[in-house]
Structure 1
C-alpha cells in the first residue's frame, strides 16, 4: 500500500480536526442558544402571567366567586393578543377557570399549585397542548389574599422555529471559519513541505537512522553549527578529540571552546582547508564547510581528524631519514678518504698514507670525544653527532659551546631529543639559506634549577611580522613541500615546553636564537660531578 505524502497527511489530519471542532462548536452553540431561547420565552410567559394576575376584573372575580365567563373571556383575549399557547387561571383548589380548550374549564389540574408559596416559577411544562416554556405568577384578590395562580405557556415549537431561523447565520460564520482553517492548513502543509525539502516521513526516518549510524560509526569527529554558530550536533569522536567535554547542544561554540587557534579555526575566523591544530593531547586536521540548501544558510559542518599517530610516525621517519642522510654523508666522507688513501698507496707513498689515515681518524674521534666530555647522556650525544654530519654535508658548521654541560641522569632527556632535534633542524635550514659562513651554535647547560637549551643560527632571522605567530600551529616561513604539514615543529616544541612548566623565547636577529628552559622538577637524587674540562 502506497503511503500518503506528508503534506497530504497533515492536511487531512488538520481538516478532520477542524471539522470535528467546528461541528462540536456548532452543536454546543445550538444547545446554548436553545437554552437561551427557553429562558427568554419563559421570561416572556411569566411577564404575561404577571400581567393577567394584575387585571382587576380577574382578581375580583377570583376572590368573590362570581367569575362566570369573565375570567375565560379576558384570559383568552390576552392569549390571542400575546400569541401565547395558553393562559390558565387556577384557584387555590387547583380548578381551572380559563383554558384554550373550553372543555377543561372547571376541571382540576393534576400537579400542585406552585404559586401558592407567593413566588413566581418558570420551567418547561409538558402540558396537554404539548411541551411549552411556562411561567406561573401568584394571583391576589383585591383584599390582598392569595386566591390562586396564573399559568402561561409558549409552545416549544415556536422556540424551535426561532432557533432554526438563527442557525443559518451562525452556520455561515462557521463555514467561513472552516474555510479559513482549511486555507491555513494548506499553507502550513506547504511550509512544512518546504522545511523538510519535500522529504516524506519514511525518508526522514531513514535519514535519521543513517545519520546516527554514520556519525557514531566513523572515526572522525563531526560537529554541526546552526547559522548563529550554536552547536547542533557533536558525535562521540568530536567529544573525545576536543579539549572540552562540555559540548552542550544549543550553546554557542565560542562559549564551550577555550580561546586560541582551535576556536578560531572552528568558528571560521581562520579559513582554509586541512588546518592543523595542536591541542593538549592531539594533533588535529580541521575542515569547516558552510552548508546551504536551496539557497538557505543552514550553518556549517566541521570535521576533526586525529593525526597524532601519523604525525608521530612522520617525525620518526624524518628522524630515520636524518640518520640515513648522516650515514650517507659519512659514507661519502669515508669513500673520499679511501680514494685518497688508495691513491697514496698506488703512488707507493706508504708513510704519507699512514699519516693521512692517522690524522683523519683522529679528527673524527676528537670530535666525538669533545661532545662526550660535555654531554653525558648517550641519546643526546648520538643526536648531536648525527646532526653535525648532516649539517656538514649542507655546508653548515654545527658547534657545541664550551659552556655546554649535561649529565647522564638528566631528567628531560626524551624532551631534549624532541626540542633539540626540531630546533637544530630549523637552524640548519635557516643557516644553509643565509649568508656565509653558515653556522649553528648549540648551548646545553644543566643547572640546579633548570636545563637550558639555546640554539643560534646565522640565517636571516625571524621576520618582524612573523615573530608573534612563530609558535602557532601550522605557521611556517618555509614554502610548502606538498608532502607534509608545515609549522608543526616549533608548535610541538612550544607545547612540550609549556606542559613541562618551562619557557621558550626567540630573538629578533640578526639570525635567530631560540632559548628553552625546562625546570629540574624530576632531577635525579644524585648528580655525577663534572669530570673533564671542556676542550
Structure 2
C-alpha cells in the first residue's frame, strides 16, 4: 500500500509533542502551585497584621491610656510610628465604644470605627476580617486590649489594603510565571535537540521511508534463493530468511531461529570466528547435519564498530549442479563453434576455387567433403543412438581437425539410446572434458591422435579415451582430479574435477593407464540403462 506524504516531518511532530507536554505540565503546575502561593501570601500578610495588632494591644502605653492612667492623645503618635515601621495601611486603636483613638488621618480620630466588623473584637474575640473602611477594602486583624487584671478596655485593628494584598500575590505569581517561561524555553530547546538527535540516529529518514525500506528489505531477503543468517555481538540470531529456514528444516532444525544462540543451531559455524577476528571468510564448506553448504561470512560494522556478522549459504549440491550445467553448455557451444569454423574454412576454399575457375577440381573437392561428412555422420548415427551426444561428438571431431589433431572412433563402438535422457548431460561432461584434456596433451606432439570407444554390455557403459601425448607420471595421477590442480597455469584444473564429480553422481568409476612417453588412456565405467531394454 502506498503511503501518502504526511503534513509534518518527524522532527516537527516531536518538537510540537514535547513542547505541548512541557506546556501542559507547566500549566498544571501553575494551577496547583500559584493558588497555594496566593493562599500562603494572604495568610502571611494576615499573620503579619495579627502580630502587629498583638504588639500594640500589649503595649503598656495603649493599655494605660485606655484605662485612664495617662492621656489618650499619646496613642496616636505611637500607633502612627508602628504603622510606619511595619508598612501596614493603618493601626487603629479604639475604646469599648468603638471610638477611634488613632488613625492615619488625624481628622478621623475620636470618630466611630467604620466597617461594622469590630463588634466581636469588643467582646474579647481575636479574628480576621475583610471590610470596607474609610481607606477602602482591606484585610483587617482584630485583637482585644486587656489590662493585667483581665479587664478589656478596647481593641486594636491593623489593616492592609486589599490592593496591597493582591499586589503581593501578583508578585509571588510573577516568580512562578518566570519559572514557567524558563521551563518552556528549556523544553523547546530540549525538544529540538532530541528531535535532531533521533533524526541523526535514523540517518535522516522519516518513519514512512523507514517502513518502505523495511518492506523492500524483507521482500528482497525472502526472494533470494540463498539462505541468509545474521547474528549480533552476543552470537544470537537476529535475522533469517525463508531460504535459511528451508535448509535448516531439511537438516532437522525446526522452529523460529531468531533469538537463539547460533551455536545451538550450527555447532561448527565459523560465524563466531569472524565475529572475533573481523575477517571475512568466503566460499567455505560447512556440514549442517549431513547437508553440505557453501558459505560466505562477513563481519557487520556500523561507524567502524563491529555489531555482528552475516552469513549467506546455499546447498552445495545445487551449486554443483549449476556448475555442471554451465560446463555442459560451454562444451556444446565450443563444439558448435569448432564445427562452424571448419565449414567456414571449407567455404573459403570453395570460393577461391570458383574465382580461379578450377571447376573440375572443385567438383572433386566438394564430392570428397560431402562423402567424408556423410561418412562421419552415418557412422556416428549408426553407433551413437543419442542425437545430443552424436552431435557433440561431431563437433569435437571438427574441433580436433581445427587444432591439427585426429579424433577417431573405434569401429565396434556403440551407445544405445538411454532410458533416462538426463544421464546424457553427465556423459557429455565426462566425455567432453576427457577429450579436451587429451587434445591439450597432444598439442606439442608430432603425432596427434585421440582414439575414443563406447561399449555397452549388460547395463554397464564403458568409455575409453586414449591419446598419444607424453603420458602422466605416478605422482600426478593422484592429484589431477583435485579441484584447481593443473600443470598448465593458473585458473585451470576444473575439467577432470568435474569428471570426477559427474561420475560420483552416476555411481561410476575411472581408471588411468599411462606411462611417460607412451600416452594416456582413461577408462570409465558407469551404470547405464538402455531404452530398448526398458521396453
Equivalent residue in structure 1 for 2:120, among 113, 123, 128: 113
In structure 1, the residue matched to 2:192 is 186
Structure 2 residue 54 is the aligned partner of structure 1 residue 46? no
> Could you report, residue by residue, the CA deviation over 1:100-134 in whole angstroms, capped at 9, with x for unpaired residues?
6659725683476279687x65x673544555454
Residue 200 to residue 136, structure 1, CA distance change in 2 (3 Å): same
> Could you report, residue by residue, the CA deviation over 1:256-288 in whole angstroms, capped at 9, with x for unpaired residues?
444314545775867333433231264434333
Contiguous gaps of at least 5 residues in structure 1: 319-323, 340-363, 369-381, 396-431, 439-458, 462-474, 494-535
Equivalent residue in structure 2 for 1:247, among 246, 257, 275: 257
Equivalent residue in structure 2 for 1:125, among 130, 139, 145: 130
In structure 2, the residue matched to 1:85 is 89
Equivalent residue in structure 1 for 2:60, among 25, 45, 56: 56
The 5 Å alignment of 1:254-269 reads 254=262, 256-261=264-269, 263=271, 267=275
In structure 1, the residue matched to 2:297 is 288
- SS at 1:8 equivalent: helix
The 5 Å alignment of 1:246-395 reads 247-249=257-259, 253-254=261-262, 256-261=264-269, 263=271, 267=275, 271-280=280-289, 282-291=291-300, 299-306=308-315, 335=410
CA contact (8 A) 1:277 1:286 kept: yes
Contiguous gaps of at least 5 residues in structure 2: 328-385, 391-406, 415-455, 487-491, 506-535
In structure 2, the residue matched to 1:410 is none
| Structure 2 CA distance for aligned equivalents of residues 481 and 460 of structure 1 | 10
| Structure 1 CA distance for aligned equivalents of residues 268 and 180 of structure 2 | 63
User: How much has 1:335 moved relative to structure 2?
Assistant: 3.8
TM-score by structure 2 length? 0.50
The 5 Å alignment of 1:385-464 reads 435=474, 459=478
The 5 Å alignment of 1:69-218 reads 74-89=78-93, 105=112, 109-110=116-117, 113=120, 121=127, 125-128=130-133, 132-145=138-151, 149-162=155-168, 177-216=183-222, 218=224
User: How much has 1:143 moved relative to structure 2?
Assistant: 0.4
User: How much has 1:244 moved relative to structure 2?
Assistant: 6.7
Residue 223 to residue 476, structure 1, CA distance change in 2 (3 Å): same
CA contact (8 A) 1:34 1:159 kept: no
In structure 2, the residue matched to 1:444 is none
- SS at 1:277 equivalent: strand
State the number of aligned residues.
365
Residue 93 to residue 233, structure 1, CA distance change in 2 (3 Å): farther
The 5 Å alignment of 1:5-44 reads 5-22=9-26, 25=29, 30-44=34-48
- Aligned residues: CA RMSD: 5.5
CA contact (8 A) 1:94 1:108 kept: no
- SS at 2:45 equivalent: helix
> Could you report, residue by residue, the CA deviation over 1:32-51 in whole angstroms, capped at 9, with x for unpaired residues?
44344323322321220111
> Could you report, residue by residue, the CA deviation over 1:461-497 in whole angstroms, capped at 9, with x for unpaired residues?
9xxxxxxxxxxxxx978577569999x98xx99xxxx
| Structure 2 CA distance for aligned equivalents of residues 290 and 437 of structure 1 | 39
| Structure 2 CA distance for aligned equivalents of residues 245 and 62 of structure 1 | 101
TM-score by structure 1 length? 0.50
CA contact (8 A) 2:53 2:158 kept: yes
